[in-house]
Amino acid sequence: MQGVIKSYDPGTREGTLVADTDRAEYDLAADALAGSIFRMLRQGQRVVFELDSQNRATRLRLGSEVDMGTPTEPPQAAP
């Protein structure tokens, strides 16, 4: 799944993100950043994530609009 960080407290490592698909909010699991390149998260940062058995966001990775399949301009036909 993909979404954006809504809030993050680096002191407690607690936070919330909002899924792109349905705008559902998910709390971050305690191990959400384990094994990722992230040391900290900022509000509005795009991430790819999975849900654990307790419906918390985990396994955060870098996300981008390309990952979402955002449409691009079609190539121009040659004259």
Does the residue 67 lie in any domain? no
Residue 78 lies in a domain: no
pLDDT of residue 63: 72
- Domain presence at residue 52: yes
| pLDDT value at residue 79 | 63
Question: What is the pLDDT, as a whole number, of residue 19?
Answer: 95
**pLDDT by 10-residue block (mean), the chain, 79 residues:** 93 93 94 84 93 95 61 57
Residue 19 in any domain: the answer is yes
CATH number at residue 30: 2.40.50.140
The pLDDT assigned to 46 comes to 93
Range of the domain at 40: 2-62
> Domain for residue 17, yes or no?
yes
For residue 63, give Cα distances in angstroms to 3, 12, 16, 37, 48.
8, 23, 16, 12, 5
Decide: 29 and 52 in contact? Cβ < 8 Å: yes
Total structural domains within the chain: 1
| Residue 54, pLDDT score | 96
The answer to the question of residue 71 being in a domain is no
